[in-house]
Amino acid sequence: MKYKCNLKTVRLSQKEVRQTEEFLTQNPAIENFSALARIAILDFISKRGSIPIKPILYEEPKGRPSFLWDYDLTEGEIREMLQSSLEKRKWLVARILEHARFDEIWKYLTRDQIEHDLPHVRLPEKTKQHWAYALKRWKRAA
């Protein structure tokens, strides 16, 4: 870390707080929680090096996408709606942006399509703001 003021948050349960306080009381050489955290992190890294993480594989069910749990549209009908006029597609675009898994979004939409349709679709304001922010960041990175 370049600057000492880089803070990280650690959330502990009440039980963990009590255990930590008890440990610090019994080990006065460790000045405070920050010192204990640094020691524990460095010890963990030196012993483990890395943690093997198994990805969660999602098997997409045959048939309808996850964002259309209550509609029976075929893949062809979805594609056709997404190629039609803004009036005909904005419901589906909103549905995808709000309910689809991240990988499904990119299966059906492009960044340019989202950018074009976002001002016109009906979404909760917070969801719309998140998409607008993401688009702005991705555009800057491109």
Judge contact between 95 and 121, C-beta under 8 A: no
What is the percent of the chain with per-residue pLDDT over 70, rounded to a whole number?
Answer: 85
Domain boundaries, the chain: 14-48, 72-141
**DSSP string of 50-97?**
----PPPPP-PPSSS-GGGTT----HHHHHHHHHS-HHHHHHHHHHHH
Q: 27-39, pLDDT tens digit by residue? A: 888 888 888 888 8
Cα 56 → chain centroid: 15
Judge contact between 23 and 15, C-beta under 8 A: no
Tokens coding 100: 């689809």
Its pTM stands at 0.56
Residue 74 has pLDDT above 90, yes or no: no
Q: 88-112, pLDDT tens digit by residue? A: 999 999 999 999 999 899 999 999 9
